[in-house]
């Protein structure tokens, strides 16, 4: 009598005791809700430690909210949908999920199934076993359009590496694992979810960050929310990242440096014209006089702006922060409730 062979299931990596929170922003992904939630449960079916799945509905209008609520009711309290009042964009949605996460390890990924949930155990194992604060996914075989997705991403990654000094190959990959105690010390704005490693470098050492090759699949359902316009926003946010990395705690040095430079140029111009005036030359109609005057005036304005920025940064650090998103109320849960545990 022949028996049906048991399918081979690769063992999950062994990791120390922890609680895992999976944070996923979704916007108009109604067709991917059920496949995604199913894929996560299949990937973590043998996971030895408690985990929760936090899916942030970023103001979807296509039925994503109803589909998420149905999955939460079907799967149990470890599936926690969060509904934003409107479309606050991906970074705010991710921040909302991070704020709601209760685990000491947080994994983020996209909900369009281009990131593979099967990579979650491996990326968490690397983070915990090697005592890291961040492990970023690296899509070595990226399944996206060449001109609209791959080329802009390569340019953005090179700019980010150049400005931040972090040698990550694929900062645009949403699949990342974080130590929650470190991640929650930074706040995300704009398109800053791409620059989380740079922000984390302000509170931890780059030596405690690493990356891991992960799978990437073509989108099969729904429409991509990425376009060439996002690359332009990334460039603008990159300038902000550079400013915050270098001058977050001392903005007066930035504005003061610019003010001193501009003021010095104006003073040299006015000094030169003053010498000409003493030699009997008429300088009243020279455009250079106006240039020197406005350079001195601009330098003074930069200096005073630096003083005001120093005052504001001290107020910022001394008071609580205002959330950049608004959500519907979620039922309160005790710390030991709402986790998926292996039977």
What are 97-107's pLDDT values in tens digits?
999 999 999 99
Q: Where are the beta strands (DSSP E) in the chain?
A: 20-26, 51-57, 79-83, 105-108, 134-139, 176-179, 209-214
Shared domain for 176 and 288, answered yes or no, is no
Report DSSP state, residue 134.
Answer: E
Whether residue 230 sits in one domain with residue 127: yes
Lowest mean per-residue pLDDT among 186-190, 223-227, 294-298: 223-227
User: Across residues 211-222, what is the average pLDDT?
Assistant: 82
CA–CA dist 98, 112 (Å, integer): 19
Q: What is the pLDDT of residue 78?
A: 96
Does residue 12 lie in a domain region? no
51 found inside a domain: yes
Per-residue pLDDT at 229? 57
Establish how many alpha carbons lie within 13 A of residue 339's alpha carbon, considering only the half-sphere containing its beta carbon: 20
What's the pLDDT tens digit per position in 16-67?
A: 789 999 999 999 999 999 999 999 999 999 999 999 999 999 999 989 999 9
3-state helix, strand, coil in the chain (%, to 5): 50, 15, 40
Using alpha carbons, select from 210, 126, 208, 121 the residue that is nearest to residue 168. 210
Whether 287 and 142 share a structural domain:
no
Average pLDDT, integer, range 294-308: 92
121, part of any domain: yes
For residues 308 and 182, membership in a common domain is answered with: no
Q: Do 185 and 116 reside in the same domain of the chain?
A: yes
56 and 164 fall within a common domain: yes
Is residue 139 situated within a structural domain?
A: yes
The verdict on 189 and 281 lying in the same domain is no
* Residue 338 domain-assigned (yes or no): no
Reported pTM:
0.74
> With contact defined as beta carbons under 8 Å apart, do 26 and 60 qualify?
yes
CATH of the domain at 212: 3.90.550.10
Distances (CA, A) of 279 to 198, 275, 283, 287: 56, 6, 11, 19
Domain that holds residue 263: 251-316
Residue 264 lies in a domain: yes
189 and 40 assigned to the same domain: yes
221 lies in the same domain as 258: no
The last residue of one of the domains, among 247, 262, 289, is 247
Average pLDDT over residues 143-150: 54
In this structure, what DSSP letter does residue 216 have?
B
The answer to whether residue 120 is domain-embedded is yes
Give 63-130 as a DSSP string. Answer: SHHHHHHHHHHHH-TTEEEEEBSS---HHHHHHHHHHH--SSEEEE--SSSSB-GGGHHHHHHHHHHT
Together in a domain, 220 and 259: no
Do 93 and 203 reside in the same domain of the chain? yes
Residues 222 and 294 in one domain: no
The last residue of one of the domains, among 191, 223, 247, is 247
CA-based nearest residue to 199, from 237, 231, 235, 236: 237
Q: Is 111 inside a domain boundary?
A: yes
Mean of all residue pLDDT scores within the chain: 83
Quote the number of domains for the chain.
2
């Amino acid at each position: 009598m022949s028996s049906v062979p048991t399918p081979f299931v690769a063992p999950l990596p062994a990791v120390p005791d922890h609680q895992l929170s999976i944070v996923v922003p979704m916007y108009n992904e109604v067709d991917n809700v059920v496949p995604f939630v199913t894929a996560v449960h299949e990937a973590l079916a043998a996971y030895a430690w408690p985990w929760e799945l936090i899916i942030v509905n970023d103001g979807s209008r296509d039925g994503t909210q109803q589909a998420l609520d149905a999955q939460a009711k079907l799967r149990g309290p470890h599936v926690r949908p969060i509904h934003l009042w409107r479309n606050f964009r991906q970074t705010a949605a991710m921040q909302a999920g991070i704020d709601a996460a209760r685990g000491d390890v947080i994994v983020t990924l996209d909900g369009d199934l281009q990131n593979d949930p099967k990579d979650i155990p491996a990326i968490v194992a690397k983070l915990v076993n090697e005592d890291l604060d961040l492990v970023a996914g690296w899509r070595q075989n990226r399944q996206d359009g060449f001109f609209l997705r791959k080329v802009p991403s390569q340019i953005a990654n090179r700019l980010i590496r150049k400005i931040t000094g972090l040698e990550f190959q694929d900062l645009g990959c949403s699949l990342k694992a974080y130590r929650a105690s470190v991640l929650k010390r930074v706040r995300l704005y704009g398109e800053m979810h791409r620059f989380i490693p740079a922000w984390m470098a302000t509170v931890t050492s780059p030596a405690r960050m690493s990356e891991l090759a992960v799978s990437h699949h073509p989108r099969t359902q729904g429409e991509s929310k990425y376009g060439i316009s996002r690359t332009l926003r990334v460039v603008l946010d990159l300038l902000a990242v550079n400013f915050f990395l270098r001058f977050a705690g001392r903005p007066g040095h930035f504005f003061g440096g610019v003010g001193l430079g501009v003021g010095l140029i104006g003073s040299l111009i006015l000094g030169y014209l003053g010498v000409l005036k003493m030699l009997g030359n008429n300088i009243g109609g020279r455009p250079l006089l106006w240039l020197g005057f406005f350079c001195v005036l601009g330098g003074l304005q930069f200096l005073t702006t630096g003083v005001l920025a120093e005052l504001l940064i001290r107020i910022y650090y001394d008071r609580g922060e205002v959330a950049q998103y608004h959500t519907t109320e979620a039922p309160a849960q005790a710390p030991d409730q709402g986790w998926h545990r292996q039977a």
